[in-house]
């Protein structure tokens, strides 16, 4: 590594995984039609990104994600009344 010609990333520069997550989140939010779908996708993305040792099947992960979306929507609707 040539220190004079190569820049060292600083903590303020996003890494490749972060950049990919931003692209996927943008594509997801543009392609979905409901807030429920968006919230469920975000819940699933957060779970999969945070836990490297998930012991659930995809069906269980999908069901959990939808339940999280429903809970958020219910809380937001309750707050707005």
pLDDT value at 71 more than 50 = yes
User: What pTM did the predictor assign?
Assistant: 0.59
Q: Give pLDDT tens digits for 26-60.
A: 777 777 678 898 899 889 988 888 877 788 888 99
pLDDT score at 1: 38
Question: Could you tell me the residue ranges of all domains in the chain?
Answer: 37-81
DSSP-assigned states of every residue in 12-74: TS--HHHHHHHHHHHHHHHH--SHHHHHHHHHHHHHHHH-SS----HHHHHHHHHHHHHHHHH
């Amino acid at each position: 590594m040539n220190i004079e010609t190569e820049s060292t990333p600083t903590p303020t520069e996003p890494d490749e995984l972060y950049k990919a997550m931003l692209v996927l989140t943008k594509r997801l939010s543009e392609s979905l039609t409901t807030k429920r779908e968006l919230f469920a996708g975000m819940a699933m993305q957060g779970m999969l990104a945070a836990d490297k040792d998930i012991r659930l099947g995809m069906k269980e992960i999908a069901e959990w994600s939808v339940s999280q979306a429903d809970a958020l929507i219910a809380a937001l609707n309750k707050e707005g009344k």
